[in-house]
Structure 1
Amino acid sequence: MEQILKFHKLFSYELQCVCYNWTVHSRVGQTFCKQAPFMKISVEYFQKKEQASKLLRELLKSDPKFNQIVEDISQQEEVNHEPLEQLLNRPVKRISEYNLLLQKMNESMFDWQPDSKHVHLASKMMDEIASFFNFCIHRKGNLEKVFDIEQQIISYNPIPLMFSLSEEATQIELVKKQGQNLNNYDIMKIRLQWQKYFHRIRLVRPSRCFVSDIE
């Protein structure tokens, strides 16, 4: 969180400098292009945000004192009278808001303006960052699901589950290999490889490679 705060303070300062000295030659897009790669430091926040929101909702329901404190804080002008849940969502929404801002700027700029190409490039970069965050969140969700599955494989009757998972993994791999003219032997070989894989993680140890293999 400290790194995220420092970054946005610096980014805010640079944008303010551009705005306070605004001309048709000002370069907002160039500033975004320079700082956009560093926005990826927020990925850990994005990954933990859902868990934090869930915990917040539970505490608001179960702890009246905590609920009252949060309510009192949300009424203060320093937080623009926004509830805590909305503040937690702010960093997540900010990326899409940045992209929307850049798209609007791109539509309203002339080609002869020096910052035109930077705004266009910055918009693409923000799209890529949003996709990166979505991928990381999706991957974290997969890891959590895989951990639950691995516990089932280790703790419960593994045979039916092992065959079910190996069949699902086989179908995913076949979709990826469409157009390669696989015969029945090739398909059987893929299925057997996955059966061996799930048998191995049951007997040896939980595997953190599962998500990468499936994806």
Structure 2
Amino acid sequence: MATTKKKTTAKKAPSKFDIITMYMEYVLEHEMYPKSIYKFCKANKITETDFYAHFGNIDGLKKEIWIILFDKTMEVAHANEAYDQFTSREKMLTFFYSFFEMLTLNRSYILFALSEHDRALKNMEQLKGLRKQIKSFASELIAEDNEDKQFKITKNPTSLFSEGAWIQFLFLLKFWMDDASAGFEKTDVAIEKSVNTIFDVFDNTPLTNILDLGKFLWKERTM
């Protein structure tokens, strides 16, 4: 009598995004980071080989989450057909609005990740890759603006602008973490005022918006 062999379907290896999703869900469900890659993989029924195909360690995974958030934000921005015609100011506003929408969608994880250690600098370690991306993005914007300026003396230093954009992001990140307003509307206001202010500084017309931003921050601090 003829025998038939059962067909076996090979299990599809998890993608980088699959593993990141597993990791974020693990952290939120257990309210702690996995103590080892072995335990994380066992809990999610994947092999360590699956994990190491995409990440060298947990710290690398944590950094990659922020880079993916940046990449997804830029995808959303460029999906707007009018984006390429935006001014640098409008592109920066679009980026911050979209990025903080991404953070809000993942707020529980983000708040946990940034509260892991009592030392703020230790928590900033995971943002190294994001810092590089944001500074590069800001440098591109200021370089575009410089192309339209005839005299070298009126051109703005890209390194100073890019570092300012990073500091601005850290300020907005802390503001967003502390924001208890409905829909995080105060964060939206802070984004608008801070972006307009930094661009006004580089356009040499800062006074009105700097005072406006200062009043807003003073009001929030006293409240």
Q: Would you call these one fold, judging by a TM-score over 0.5? A: no
Identify which of structures 1 and 2 has the higher relative contact order when contacts are C-alpha pairs closer than 8 Å and 6+ apart: 1
TM-score calculated relative to the size of structure 1: 0.32
Q: Which structure's CA Rg is the greater one?
A: 1
TM-score calculated relative to the size of structure 2: 0.31
